[in-house]
Amino acid sequence: MRDTLYEYSEELEATITVRELKQDEFTEEDGVEMVDDAEEVEQDSSVREVRYEMDAEDALEEVAESLLMLAGEGLIADPGAETNLDIEEEFKKQGRVAVLNCNFLQPRNEGLKYIILNLWLRLIFRARDETPRLPRAALEIRELKDIAPSVLGNSNYQKEVKALQSTIYEIATRGGSRRILMLGSTQKPNDVYKPVRTNMPVKILLQLGEEEIMSLDRSYNFSPRQIEQLKDFDVGQGMLMADEPHWPIQWRGARCGLGLGDETWRDRYAEAWGARVIKNLDQEAEWEHEHADREIYINARTGRVKPVDIESSKLPDLGEWYLFPADIFANVPTTLTDEDMQPPEKVDIELVAATLEARREYDIPSDLSLQRAEKTTHRSLSFQSGEEADDKRRQAILDQHNVPPTLESWVGTTDREQRQKILRICQVLAEDHRNEITTQQDLADATDIPRGTIANWNTENAAFNNCVTKEKGQYRTTAIGQKALDVDWAKLDAEL
């Protein structure tokens, strides 16, 4: 990484070309600045170009600073990580909506939100620019004034916001030709950067107060009837301002855009993850109404079984994720009984995880489970050699696929045909519900693998012995063998 950064810093000419706005497109309050020592090239009476030069070391410093900020918060993932988005592929998935959520960032990292949003928008713009056959893009940006403010000095992160403001301006002026629709919301249009708002000619006006109406009246010259209507719109009704006003129009937001201010994101996340959660501040009333006959519950994060006593207020904490034994019995095959689940027993966390997964309404393609933050976190950031980076990438992929450490030797070095044969044995044993496989010959007959091969593996092959065991005269698949069956080995080989 370090060598790559230096390579680019040496090759970078660091010349930025900027289109100068026409005089009627900006005012002093828009924060447009000129640089005295810049080279100006006259093109015509209304358009000029101003070239700025940036020292290569300064450019490197800017890039490294942004990279370290992102890496320090764990936001830079391996190129092969499942959580990475391929923007072009997201465009093709017309049944989905991609949402950028930065709520998890700490207040101290507010500036990172602008960097990430800028990158997100740039990737969208570039995808539509380079591949015109992709479906159209529709962007919804709430509180447009925060990312494209009319007065840059009002922002606490001027450098980040200035770069983002430039991206928003480019989408507002050139996005139409690339079939990018941008919908922005704000309380006061004058708080939005003027070159942006003037390039968004279609306005949707919802119910407004006296002050907002007076501010807009200077631009639109509302009639008395229109003013009264703007004051009296019901929720969801509004006025469309294009070439002329049209009203009343019934506006209803998409389900993904509706706010849930009375329900925290952690509670919504819990239910999407498959857990139950106490949401009502009056916990006792909610429990009495929903689960009055329950005597125990299971913490969905730890697996700990806990007692319930309404009279002494022994209930799940507000926001605590939990399950009931019945949830496990109904969703996951298990030999546990009600008697096994008595406080303070602990249910195997893998059994809890399987239950949560089975209870989800929608599939989640990768592990997005929440991790408990430590009170004190130490991070060590350093540039790595290519070999070290490859080793970390390989280990990250193995971890993503939940490959047991004892079977990591199966990846890349062991004969794949042998691996497939051992997996076939594990599958056959897992399906041997009648306990008919008691000898190596039985195993050979059931799998079409020579008995001599199985005998050799039984004495020499560590992977085989990790996956297969013999208990009380019966061959069984071990827990490691069960995990091996869950791994998508073909996909793993392709990623590595």
In a domain, 19, yes or no: yes
pLDDT exceeds 70 at position 307: yes
- Assess whether 344 and 429 both reside in one domain: no
Per residue in 131-154, pLDDT (tens digit) is: 888 888 888 888 888 888 888 777
Instruction: Note if the pTM is more than 0.85.
Output: no
Per residue in 236-263, pLDDT (tens digit) is: 788 888 878 888 888 765 444 445 566 6
In a domain, 36, yes or no: yes
- Assess whether 395 and 350 both reside in one domain: no
- Assess whether 403 and 486 both reside in one domain: yes
- Assess whether 411 and 342 both reside in one domain: no
Q: Predicted confidence band at 480 (pLDDT cuts at 50, 70, 90)?
A: confident
For residue 181, the surrounding DSSP H or E stretch is strand 180-184
Per residue in 280-298, pLDDT (tens digit) is: 777 788 888 888 888 899 9
- Assess whether 488 and 390 both reside in one domain: yes
- Assess whether 339 and 393 both reside in one domain: no
- Assess whether 422 and 336 both reside in one domain: no
- Assess whether 425 and 481 both reside in one domain: yes
Bin 179: left if φ > 0, else alpha if -120 < ψ < 50, else beta: left
Q: Residue 248 in contact with residue 229, Cβ under 8 Å?
A: yes
Q: Check whether the bond before 248 is cis (ω within 30° of 0).
A: yes
Q: Residue 356 in contact with residue 323, Cβ under 8 Å?
A: yes
**Token digits of residue 242:** 């294009």
In a domain, 189, yes or no: no
In a domain, 208, yes or no: no
Q: Residue 115 in contact with residue 70, Cβ under 8 Å?
A: yes
- Assess whether 336 and 392 both reside in one domain: no
* 3-class secondary-structure state, position 276: strand
pLDDT exceeds 70 at position 211: yes
Per residue in 65-97, pLDDT (tens digit) is: 777 766 666 666 666 666 677 888 888 877 777
In a domain, 309, yes or no: yes
- Assess whether 349 and 395 both reside in one domain: no
Decide which of 27, 51, 66 is a domain's last residue.
66
Q: Check whether the bond before 344 is cis (ω within 30° of 0).
A: yes
In a domain, 130, yes or no: no
Give the model's pLDDT for residue 76.
67
Q: Predicted confidence band at 302 (pLDDT cuts at 50, 70, 90)?
A: confident
Please state, in angstroms and rounded to a whole number, the distance separating the CA atoms of residues 3 and 9.
Answer: 10
In this predicted model, which residue has the larger pLDDT, 402 or 331? 331
Residue 260: how many CB atoms within 10 A of its CB? 9
For 25-62, the DSSP string reads G--GGGT----TT-EEEE-SSS-EEEEEE--HHHHHHH
In a domain, 188, yes or no: no
User: Whole domain around residue 298: which residue ranges?
Assistant: 265-359
* 3-class secondary-structure state, position 435: coil
Q: How many domains does the chain have?
A: 3
Please state, in angstroms and rounded to a whole number, the distance separating the CA atoms of residues 243 and 245.
Answer: 7
Those residues with Cβ within 8 angstroms of residue 418's Cβ, 6 or more apart along the chain or in another chain: none
- Assess whether 355 and 306 both reside in one domain: yes
Please state, in angstroms and rounded to a whole number, the distance separating the CA atoms of residues 66 and 61.
Answer: 9
User: What CATH number did the domain enclosing 418 receive?
Assistant: 1.10.10
Q: Residue 32 in contact with residue 165, Cβ under 8 Å?
A: no
- Assess whether 328 and 419 both reside in one domain: no
In a domain, 132, yes or no: no
